[in-house]
Structure 1
């Protein structure tokens, strides 16, 4: 897999995210990523920090353009804990845990993010508070998303060889048949 192709895929998906109104400054954006799947190998078999670097750089661009806080999901060996900036942990009142992700326990993406973030910490979970996210290679990020998750259908369907799934969340509908949802973020999902 050529790194230039992965870079182009990331540029495409970042461009598609920023042209929507799905992301707001200060929101949590969770990323699950199997660099093995991106390279065309089964999940957990061929982690690659060079691929992680390309993906991380694309996600930094998304962060710069949208103002979201990035949360990188670790692999199952760390129980899907997340790498975030210390400032984000403080903002969302999340408790730090004592672990440093490495490629074989945490995954190449989380390991790379931990090395490159300004002041990274690992938190056990984000208590289903993520506002949106991307799952690159079917790593199962749903547990981190707020209720109600809305799947997104972007033109970009893969990053490298890995399938891409994306979602945003919306507030729960309350109020029954007399409720009015006009002029809310729900317009595209209520009709």
Structure 2
């Protein structure tokens, strides 16, 4: 049914999912060398997290658990979550206004079946949530094959985390770095090979 959502009876599973998300966020902070003010785009299928086909079983409590796990690692470091909505909202982004104060805001409020349970949880929990259509994030987490590449800065670099799943969903991670330009005669700033400058 298009408007239905699902619940998880095993509350230990919810806690494990939250723990998985927290672990993934900590590893991403370390491996991507993230610092305060940077943005991580997160695409999340709660259906995939429980082993179902993407888009088939929207589970608000799983979306909330993943948000809480990620935010418990990102917020103390000053890192912002950019929640990618599902394709029904054209993969729009839900984010704290403070992260994108000059961005062009669009008017939509995500729901579990139109935006996704994770984006819905973010919108409910953020202090001043806004929706925007585009962002270029510094790093990303893809939970369940949601395809976050359109919202990453160039150039995206895959990262291998030891936390390879959240629940039953495959977890993919990426950082970004500036492009190398100029060819054989060019000289490069070696400090930028691992990411964008920290001013």
For 2:100, which of 77, 86, 89 is the aligned residue?
89
For 2:30, which of 12, 19, 26 is the aligned residue?
19
Between the two proteins, the alignment pairs up a number of residues equal to: 184
Distance 1:182 1:146 in 2: 19
Q: Is the 8 A contact 1:14 1:62 kept in 2?
A: yes
Of 173-182 and 106-115, more deviation after overlay is shown by 173-182
Q: TM-score of the superposition, structure 2-length normalised? A: 0.86
Q: Is the 8 A contact 2:177 2:194 kept in 1?
A: no
After superposition, the C-alpha distances for 1:88-147 in whole angstroms (9 at most, x for unaligned) are 221xx2111111110111111111111111010111112xx1110100010010000011
1:155 corresponds to which residue? 162
CA 1:162 to 1:25, structure 2 compared with 1: closer, same or farther past 3 Å? same
Q: CA deviation at 1:183?
A: 3.6
CA 1:187 to 1:117, structure 2 compared with 1: closer, same or farther past 3 Å? closer
Distance 1:22 1:112 in 2: 26
Distance 1:144 1:21 in 2: 16
Distance 2:182 2:86 in 1: 39
Are 1:135 and 2:146 an aligned pair? no
For 1:9, which of 4, 20, 44 is the aligned residue?
20
2:3 corresponds to which residue? none
Q: Is the 8 A contact 2:83 2:95 kept in 1?
A: yes
Are 1:115 and 2:115 an aligned pair? no
Q: CA deviation at 1:178?
A: 3.4
2:73 corresponds to which residue? 62
For 2:109, which of 93, 96, 100 is the aligned residue?
100
Q: Is the 8 A contact 1:135 1:165 kept in 2?
A: yes
Of 153-162 and 175-184, more deviation after overlay is shown by 175-184
Of 5-14 and 15-24, more deviation after overlay is shown by 15-24
Paired residue secondary structure (2:158) = strand
Are 1:41 and 2:56 an aligned pair? no
2:152 corresponds to which residue? 145
Pairwise CA RMSD: 1.7
1:167 corresponds to which residue? 174
2:90 corresponds to which residue? 79
- Could you list the runs of 5+ residues in structure 1 that have no partner in the other structure? none
Q: CA deviation at 1:182?
A: 5.2
